[in-house]
Amino acid sequence: MSSDPSQIGPYLITQKIGAGGMGTVYLGHHTDSHKVAAVKVLPSSMAREAGFVARFEREIESLRRLSNPHIIELFESGTDDDTYYYAMEYVDGETLADLIRREKRLPWRQVVDIGIQTCSALKSAHDAGIIHRDLKPSNLMLTDEGVVKLTDFGIAQVFATSKLTATGGIVGTAEFMSPEQADGRRASKQSDLYSLGAVLYALVTGRPPFSGSTSSEVIHKHKYGQFERPSLLVPEIPSWLEVIICQLLEKEPEKRFPDAYVLARQLEQVRKRVELSMRDTITSLPSQGDVGPTIAISPEPDFGGATMMKDLVGQELERLHGEHPISAFFNRTPVLILSLVLVIAGGFFWFRDTQLPAAERFEAAREILDGAESEQWLTAGKEMQALIAEDPDTWQDEVAPYLDKVELYKLKNTLGRKARKTLRKGPSSEPERLLLLAQNHREQGDLAAATKVLAALTTLLNENPDYADLNQVGEQLLAEISAERESMENTESMLISALDRADRLQKDGNREGARQIWLSVLELYENEAALRPYTARASEGLKAESH
């Protein structure tokens, strides 16, 4: 559009209220209902991109399912002279990006409040199966009453051009992008939580966790860099809030919080703990008649066993009763395990402080080590070692296999750190180079190439004592990839069957039935590198159908 329009669809335009790379926003009034709306017009050039129309329709349909006081409501969408637009709730306020520019940084209490409200929006979206993908300060509005409104759900995906998705490109904004998105991998709810962590970091410190002269430099830092802890920039930040932000910015998604609900509950605890610590400090001060020593009570995190256990179990029960049943089912086990086991204060297990019997401590640690790999394994390993130290005759044989698992996990983590250094210095040995090559093939979705490298490498390293540790890593990676390939073969078989059915439906004249299959394939697997042949086939079907 060369000039601002006077009308878009049924909306009379009164003024332009914003513009950016993802379109222009106007203030409009509906000609019939007189409802005020923010009307976003997408760039006309986008309609010519292959797959754009399908993505636009798919994301708009998803947005219609959202209903939350902290998510800007979608009214309607349509086209006007080949221009795509959608009308949404108009919010009289400012974006957090504008707020940061004006205030530089926000008080921590306000940051916590904004975080809790944003969690409400994310939980609603995630329960509906919708990922934002581009959470950032400019997508968060704040009203004069202090109400947070999240906007632009799914718009990043609409702008994932065919060129990007065909090459495993990234979707999102560099300064607030998760490492997995930076790698071109599929975004998940943990990706949104990482972005929220970056937003909270920016609100409390006045700058994003990573910056650079180019987007590629910033993206590289998200994947491999280490940010400055917020307390180095803002010494007054409560330690509890700093711990939460740092956990949100973990490189590995599984190390972040399990969902937005648990995160919101932890943010609520920050305020309570600060208030409690301040109250304790005041009550510990001596009265005028006191002659004894003054006891200073530090407002540092005190995750005492009984209090923390009560908080976590209470939060979990509340979450299971209050959230979507599917989300509750999938998140139940990890949080309950966390509640029962990993309540740590000053490096000691909660259950050791409460003097649980050794058998129960073993079962709690075993429960973690039989689950998915995470940093919790390191703590569980320490508990296993403590059992041996206390009673080696009873526990040595039973604990030994689990300690081997922990040692292997440590070795794999070390390899991961070396992989990041390799970008600058190169591998320290030929077996290490080949392991890194295999891992790179795996991350790119080429499981066959990864298997080929690992199978040859483990054959060469077998019974070589100099590389026993690396051989063990190779064998475990080979086993994991074998399981992934089996699962991938099942997925490929399903997709081939579905796409063949779409071809038959199109041939029989059922274009809508074929279209729904193609859209479903893209909805589920568009960002899966290993499945590009099938998503490309779906895109081609949609492209041919639109002509």
Confidence of residue 527 (pLDDT cuts 50, 70, 90): low
Q: What's the pTM value of the predicted model, to 2 decimals?
A: 0.53
Q: Are 362 and 399 in contact (CB under 8 A)?
A: yes
Give the pLDDT of residue 547.
62
Q: Is 183 one of the annotated active-site residues of the chain?
A: no
Binding residues: 40
- The CA-atom distances, in angstroms, between 65 and each of 54, 59, 118, 256, 388 are 18, 10, 18, 27, 54
**For the CA atoms of 127, 133, 136, 139, what is the dihedral angle to 10 degrees?**
-70
Judged against a pLDDT cut of 80, whether residue 215 lies above it is answered with yes
Judged against a pLDDT cut of 60, whether residue 29 lies above it is answered with yes
Condensed to tens digits (0 to 9), the pLDDT of residues 475-526 reads 888 887 887 777 778 888 899 999 999 999 999 999 889 989 998 888 777 7
Q: What is the mean pLDDT of residues 440-454?
A: 80
Angle between helical axes of 511-525 and 468-507 (0-180°, round to 10):
160
Q: Are 27 and 15 in contact (CB under 8 A)?
A: yes
Binding residues for ATP: 40
Give the pLDDT of residue 465.
84
Q: What is the mean pLDDT of residues 181-197?
A: 92
Distance CA 91, CA 148 (A): 10
Condensed to tens digits (0 to 9), the pLDDT of residues 305-361 reads 444 444 444 444 444 444 444 344 434 444 444 444 444 333 334 444 445 788 888
Distance CA 518, CA 527 (A): 14
As a whole-number percent, the residues of the chain with pLDDT over 70 amount to 74
Condensed to tens digits (0 to 9), the pLDDT of residues 360-403 reads 888 888 888 887 776 678 778 888 888 888 888 899 888 888 88
Give the pLDDT of residue 375.
66
Superfamily of chain region 7-89: Phosphorylase Kinase; domain 1 (3.30.200.20)
Give the pLDDT of residue 415.
52
Distance CA 461, CA 468 (A): 7
Instruction: Give percent helix, percent strand, percent coil of the chain, each to the nearest 5.
Output: 60, 10, 30
Confidence of residue 41 (pLDDT cuts 50, 70, 90): confident
| Phi-psi label, residue 146: left if phi above 0, alpha if psi -120 to 50, beta otherwise | left
Condensed to tens digits (0 to 9), the pLDDT of residues 240-298 reads 999 999 999 999 999 999 999 999 999 999 988 887 766 554 444 444 444 444 333 33
Judged against a pLDDT cut of 70, whether residue 452 lies above it is answered with yes
Confidence of residue 450 (pLDDT cuts 50, 70, 90): confident
Confidence of residue 462 (pLDDT cuts 50, 70, 90): confident
Condensed to tens digits (0 to 9), the pLDDT of residues 70-104 reads 999 889 888 888 788 889 999 988 999 999 998 88
Give the pLDDT of residue 307.
43
Confidence of residue 22 (pLDDT cuts 50, 70, 90): low
Give the pLDDT of residue 428.
66
Candidates 134, 152, 192, 469; catalytic one: 134
Q: Which residues contact 47 (CB under 8 A, 6 or more apart)?
A: 53, 82, 83, 84
Burial bucket for residue 484 (CB in 10 Å: 0-12, 13-18, 19+): middle
Q: What contacts 24+ positions apart, CB below 8 Å, involve 242-245?
A: 243/301, 244/197, 244/200, 244/270, 245/197, 245/200, 245/201, 245/204
Cβ atoms within 10 A of the Cβ of 374, count? 16
Confidence of residue 28 (pLDDT cuts 50, 70, 90): very high
Judged against a pLDDT cut of 70, whether residue 54 lies above it is answered with yes
Report the Cα–Cα distance between both ends of the chain, in Å, rounded. Answer: 24
Burial bucket for residue 45 (CB in 10 Å: 0-12, 13-18, 19+): exposed
Give the pLDDT of residue 312.
47
Confidence of residue 464 (pLDDT cuts 50, 70, 90): confident
Give the pLDDT of residue 195.
96
Domain locations along the chain: 7-89, 93-268, 428-547
Distance CA 263, CA 244 (A): 8
Query: What is the average pLDDT score of the chain?
Result: 77
Judged against a pLDDT cut of 50, whether residue 404 lies above it is answered with yes
Superfamily of chain region 93-268: Transferase(Phosphotransferase) domain 1 (1.10.510.10)
Instruction: With CA atoms as reference, report the closest residue to 101 among 138, 73, 128.
Output: 138
Assign 3-class secondary structure to 167-227.
CCCCCCCHHHCCHHHHCCCCCCHHHHHHHHHHHHHHHHHCCCCCCCCCHHHHHHHHHHCCC
Give the pLDDT of residue 43.
76
